[in-house]
Amino acid sequence: MSSPRNHGSSPAEAGSYPDQPSDRSRWIVESRENRLRAVLDPRRPVAFWVEEERQADGSIQSGITILIVNRECPWRCLMCDLWTHTTQRPVEPGDVPAQIEFALDTLRSPARGWIKLYNAGSFFDAGAIPTVDHPQIARLCRGFGRVIVESHPRLVGSPTWRFRDALDGCLEVAMGLETANEEVLGRLNKRISLSDYDQAARELKGMDCGVRTFLLVQPPFMKPSEAEEWACRSIDHAQGCGSDPVVVIPTRIGNGAMERLMRSGDFSLPSPSLLERVVGYGVKRGRGRVFSDLWDLERLAAGDDDVKVIRHRLEWMNRYQAEVGAS
């Protein structure tokens, strides 16, 4: 298979995506144009809710998801729009535990299968979540069977193991691999290689931590004709590194940078049917759970896609890890 190529604007074109990694963060920030950052209370989470998720043993468990307020992620990945719900300066010690406590007290839910602490960045970035707060966060997570946090692969290390040891449940770390195509991965401003992800996954598995992986369907700089095969190969790669589950995310617009890449021909939106085929591939392989991210799916609808029917089938696959009608 040939590697995807940049088939849009040339490097010499004014305003085109920089070839030099050192210039990319500036270009990404400039692309935000008039998009505004939300006004946030550092002692209240962005959002929180109870949801169900299929477990590795086939059971359906309820758990709690909390979206934590913290500073903007320093990596500034090309496709990310989570910066709109971050602060411009680090939160103070005690702020993040206060957010978690507020969510748990408000929900008062008996759901204790798992808790996701998602934070628009990396849990193990001390500038986002102060390390001194880890013991208190661990205490607030007592009684949950599994604690799921997000981290950049390069931040997996000794703070991870100390936090794991403070928990009375299992630790699962979610990492964005995005794509197993090294050429495309290198252009996303994530500043990791495939080997960086592999090493982090290997260390996590070696320390009895779970691995959850986020993958993009049809990221920028990838030919649409190659998107399905690369997404399927990326599922295989993540599962080969022990990731269960794998979460497949259709690449979206909304941060300014992706809109610029659409205009230059370097990105086009994936269709809901493409997402369904990719998730179906992973489900049929049966090597581990493969979930689809259904947020804002309707915005991807194009042509003759019946997005309501596709959403139903994807919801079914998320819950049962089988295609609709399969026994």
Q: Which pLDDT value is given to residue 301?
A: 73
Q: Which pLDDT value is given to residue 34?
A: 81
Rounded Cα gap, residues 85 and 72, in angstroms: 8
Task: Kindly state the average pLDDT of the residues 17-38.
Answer: 92
Tokens representing 125?
A: 């970035």
Average pLDDT, the chain: 93
Residue with tokens 């449940």: 169
Over 60: is that where the pLDDT of 238 sits? yes
Task: Kindly state the average pLDDT of the residues 52-78.
Answer: 96
pLDDT band per the 50, 70, 90 thresholds, residue 304: low
Residue with tokens 């299968």: 113
Rounded Cα gap, residues 247 and 256, in angstroms: 24
Q: Between 51 and 22, whose confidence is greater?
A: 51
Residue with tokens 């890449």: 261
Over 70: is that where the pLDDT of 10 sits? no
Order of strands, sheet of 170-178, starting from the edge strand that comes earlier in the sequence: 47-54, 60-67, 114-118, 146-150, 170-178, 210-217, 246-250, 290-292
Q: What is the pLDDT of residues 199-231, one digit of tens each?
A: 999 999 999 999 999 999 999 999 999 999 999
Q: Within the chain, where are the H helices?
A: 21-30, 95-107, 134-140, 158-166, 182-185, 194-206, 224-240, 257-264, 272-285, 307-320
Task: Kindly state the average pLDDT of the residues 6-17.
Answer: 49
How many CB atoms sit inside 10 A of residue 59's CB? Answer: 9
pLDDT band per the 50, 70, 90 thresholds, residue 35: confident
Over 80: is that where the pLDDT of 12 sits? no
Q: Which pLDDT value is given to residue 7?
A: 36
Task: Kindly state the average pLDDT of the residues 20-27.
Answer: 94
Q: Which pLDDT value is given to residue 146?
A: 98
Over 60: is that where the pLDDT of 50 sits? yes
Q: Dihedral, CA atoms, 74, 76, 81, 84, nearest 10 degrees?
A: 40
Over 60: is that where the pLDDT of 87 sits? yes
Q: Which fold has domain 22-320?
A: TIM Barrel (3.20.20)
Q: Which pLDDT value is given to residue 4?
A: 36
pLDDT band per the 50, 70, 90 thresholds, residue 15: low
Q: Which pLDDT value is given to residue 95?
A: 98
**Cis bond before residue 250 (omega within 30° of 0):** no
Q: What is the pLDDT of residues 262-295, one digit of tens each?
A: 999 999 999 999 999 999 999 999 999 999 999 9
> What pTM did the predictor assign?
0.93
With pLDDT > 90 as the criterion, what percentage of the chain qualifies?
A: 88
Rounded Cα gap, residues 41 and 39, in angstroms: 7
pLDDT band per the 50, 70, 90 thresholds, residue 8: very low
Task: Kindly state the average pLDDT of the residues 91-110.
Answer: 98
Q: What are the backbone dihedrals phi and psi of residue 3, each rounded to the nearest 5 degrees, phi first?
A: -80, 145
Rounded Cα gap, residues 67 and 155, in angstroms: 20
Task: Kindly state the average pLDDT of the residues 146-156.
Answer: 98
Task: Kindly state the average pLDDT of the residues 99-128.
Answer: 97
Assess contact for 132 and 156: CB atoms under 8 A: no
Over 80: is that where the pLDDT of 194 sits? yes
Over 50: is that where the pLDDT of 27 sits? yes
